[in-house]
Amino acid sequence: MISLAEAQQLDARDPLAARRDKFALKPEQIYLDGNSLGAMPHAAQQQVAAVTQLQWGEDLVTSWNKHAWIDLPFITAKKIAPLIGAHRDQVVVCDSVSVNLFKLLACALSLRPGRLRILTQQNNFPTDLYIADGLSDLLKHASYRVEKVPVNRLADALDNDVAVLLLTHVDFRSGHMHDMQRLTQAAHAAGALTVWDLAHSAGALPIALDDWEVDFAVGCGYKYLNGGPGAPAFVYAAARHHNALSQPLQGWMGHAAPFDFAPDYRPRKGIAQFLSGTPPIISMAALDGALSAFDGIDMTEVRIKSIALAELLISQVESPPTLKTLKLASPRSAEARGSHLCFQHEQAYEIVQALIDLDVVTDFRAPDLIRIGLTPLYTRFEDIWHCVDRLQKVMVNKLYAAPQYASRKSVT
């Protein structure tokens, strides 16, 4: 184990240390749940204040043009594109991850007529499974089937009946990271398309969607992109597919000429066809402002710090005998992980609550995981030290056994 002073020395040498000043975090705040809800960048708050006070408040409806609200889904997307290795005009911000997955899966199925299976992993993030099932149920006349297999059976299940391989890049529980390039190649070799969910990886580590020849992807605005609670999601669609798409949630904002109010739908060209209804501008403005925290960032540097934080956390937890009941439930190899770690313990829920009461925020994932998110833009090495220090207090003093933690209440 290292000392607090040594952890602080690591922070002093950290080239990303100054980024924390861009966030509304107090010096004493130890927030290790940025993979559930990213901390608030000051710029997000400022942009929200501008949109309410000055734009909506004073310029009212004229702001759609005057303050370019109408372009915001693209303006914001252009800030996300370089973080995920996408060249311009392949990303748009709109709706939620769930709704966007529905659009993309429907598009992918229509691009592979005759193929009747959506292949996915059985412990994929539940909303991905629910949406695939919902689409398949809706299309019951077409006899589609969602096949959910263990990770080690994915390769075998990829045959010429699979229309689309639907996977999440980084597992929301274990933090296990797929080899996106290799699996995309395998899908293509079988004639299938890919839809990747980047919820736990966009903004956390380098991604190269274009280079890896990914077909479609969705990502979350409110985790590592720090866009605020329920921030709109983003859609990536490779340019080579744009002219052949037909997305079913065809709302007026996706029309080639929305203000003509024509009775027949004619989709906008390119990525804009993924827009549906009017976007939630205030929430989107928060995301747009938040992305300035990434200005000039090198995602490789983010990844280097993420791994250093994780390695420190593992060694600090595994060193003292007081914490030997906590079992690492994430891959031990940094290459196989995203930017969070899970530790297993029967009292995980109660431990997480006791930590919150000691001003350390991590989160619980059923049935028995303590999940600790590492956000290199604001997580300090010192935070890791304090987290483990307080975790020892919780375990040594059995604080988790306090009666107020006995009745479980869900925390997102």
Interacting span for a second copy (CB under 8 A) from 54-62, 300-308, 318-326, 380-388: 54-62
> Contact with a second copy (CB under 8 A): which of 43, 63, 76, 348?
63
Instruction: For the segment 157-186, give every residue that binds a second copy (CB under 8 A).
Output: 172-173
Q: Which two tokens stand for residue 141?
A: 């006349």
36 near a second copy (CB under 8 A): yes
> Contact with a second copy (CB under 8 A): which of 4, 256, 366, 406?
366
User: Dihedrals φ, ψ of 351, to 5°?
Assistant: -65, -45
64 near a second copy (CB under 8 A): yes
Distance CA 236, CA 90 (A): 6
Cα 262 to the chain's mean position, in Å?
36
284 near a second copy (CB under 8 A): yes
Interacting span for a second copy (CB under 8 A) from 78-86, 177-185, 249-257, 328-336: 249-257
Q: How many CA atoms lie within 13 A of 20 on its CB side?
A: 22
Cα 55 to the chain's mean position, in Å?
29
Distance CA 120, CA 132 (A): 9
60 near a second copy (CB under 8 A): yes
> Contact with a second copy (CB under 8 A): which of 152, 260, 321, 403?
260
Nearer to a second copy (CB atom), residue 278 or residue 300: 278
Cβ 246 to a second copy shortest distance, Å: 7
Interacting span for a second copy (CB under 8 A) from 228-236, 320-328, 380-388, 390-398: 228-236
Instruction: For the segment 345-364, give every residue that binds a second copy (CB under 8 A).
Output: 356, 361, 363
399 near a second copy (CB under 8 A): no
User: Dihedrals φ, ψ of 225, to 5°?
Assistant: -90, -10
- Vertex 82: Cα angle to 201 and 98 (nearest 5): 45
Catalytic residues: 125, 197, 222-223, 371
256 near a second copy (CB under 8 A): no
Nearer to a second copy (CB atom), residue 222 or residue 385: 222
In this structure, are residues 79 and 219 in contact, taking their beta carbons and an 8 Å threshold? Answer: no
127 near a second copy (CB under 8 A): yes
Question: CA dist 130 to 122, 127, 142, 146, 376, Å?
Answer: 11, 5, 18, 10, 31
Q: How many CA atoms lie within 13 A of 74 on its CB side?
A: 16
Nearer to a second copy (CB atom), residue 280 or residue 331: 280
Q: Determine whether 113 is exposed, middle or buried from the number of CB atoms within 10 Å of its CB (0-12, 13-18, 19+).
A: exposed
In this structure, are residues 190 and 112 in contact, taking their beta carbons and an 8 Å threshold? Answer: no
30 near a second copy (CB under 8 A): no
130 near a second copy (CB under 8 A): yes
User: Dihedrals φ, ψ of 327, to 5°?
Assistant: -110, 125
Q: Which two tokens stand for residue 229?
A: 């609670």
246 near a second copy (CB under 8 A): yes
Interacting span for a second copy (CB under 8 A) from 2-10, 252-260, 325-333, 392-400: 252-260
Q: Which two tokens stand for residue 196?
A: 């990747």
405 near a second copy (CB under 8 A): no
309 near a second copy (CB under 8 A): no
Cα 183 to the chain's mean position, in Å?
19
**Which residue(s) pair with 342 in the sheet?**
371
**DSSP, residue by residue, 93-106:** EES-HHHHHHHHHH
> Contact with a second copy (CB under 8 A): which of 14, 16, 43, 69?
69
**Cβ neighbours, 10 Å, residue 379:** 28
Distance CA 364, CA 342 (A): 9
Mark residues 100-119: x for contact with a second copy by CB under 8 A, - for none.
--x---x-------------
71 near a second copy (CB under 8 A): no
Nearer to a second copy (CB atom), residue 4 or residue 366: 366
Interacting span for a second copy (CB under 8 A) from 3-11, 91-99, 152-160, 314-322: 91-99
> Contact with a second copy (CB under 8 A): which of 8, 9, 11, 45?
45
Cβ 58 to a second copy shortest distance, Å: 8
> Contact with a second copy (CB under 8 A): which of 175, 203, 219, 228?
228
In this structure, are residues 236 and 218 in contact, taking their beta carbons and an 8 Å threshold? Answer: yes
